[in-house]
A and B are shown apart, each in its own frame.
Chain A
Amino acid sequence: AQSVSQHNHHVILSEAASLELGCNYSYGGTVNLFWYVQYPGQHLQLLLKYFSGDPLVKGIKGFEAEFIKSKFSFNLRKPSVQWSDTAEYFCAVNAGGSSNTGKLIFGQGTTLQVKP
């Protein structure tokens, strides 16, 4: 069965610090990978996604993530965080290719707090 693990449950950073949130998944086949963000009081929004091709994907608001197949990882990064990045971040995976059923499996989420 698929599973997703986010290592950091709560991260506190100062503005301008660099960010890396870990995400590992468990699945033997082709996968689609996603990072979603939920700002306080707002709905879940797609930050970036990987389906195929270049393993380094760039998303909105300066975020990027790198898919490392050998490590089953899809870590989220941002070189310099802002106070407005305070939010909860979710890594998610679904089976790719012909095995895709559409349903996403989510990690437990990481709460990021950026101090001004």
Chain B
Amino acid sequence: DGGITQSPKYLFRKEGQNVTLSCEQNLNHDAMYWYRQDPGQGLRLIYYSQIVNDFQKGDIAEGYSVSREKKESFPLTVTSAQKTPTAFYLCASSLPRRTSGNTIYFGEGSWLTVV
């Protein structure tokens, strides 16, 4: 089946530790995104990438890093500088912006908790 796969679904991070969330898509989408969903604040953009080997910071990029070495993969590293204790992370992808009205599709999300 075509779709976006995030792993792991649940992850625990110790303070001072970096962890990486995986996101893979087989939709042949050029653009990929990482959002964080916080209660009462909706979804906020962390990083996005419109093409391989290129990415831009979103609204809450501090404490995060990404890479885009392959079209189908957009891993997110949560560094020790990120202080949010528990958060839900959503990966998404879409067709290129030149495509009329590109729709963004989401993965099932990953919960990350600092212990």
Contacts and interface: CB of A to CB of B under 8 A. Distances in A.
Interface of A: 4, 6, 9, 32, 34, 36, 42-46, 49, 51-52, 90, 92, 96, 100-109
Interface residues of B, number: 26
A43 B43 contact: no
B100 interface: yes
A53 B101 CA distance: 12
Given A32-B101, A102-B31, A103-B58, A44 B106 contact: yes
Which secondary structure characterizes the binding site on chain A?
loop
Contact of B45 (A6, A43, A100, A103): A103
Nearest to B47: A103
Interface of B: 31, 33, 35, 40-45, 48, 50, 58, 90, 94, 96-97, 100-109
B110 to A, nearest CB: 11
Contacts, number: 62
The interface centre, meaning the residue of A34, A36, A51, A109 with most chain B CB atoms within 10 A of its CB, is A109
A8 to B, nearest CB: 13
8 contacts: A6-B42, A43-B90, A43-B106, A43-B109, A44-B90, A102-B33, A103-B58, A104-B33
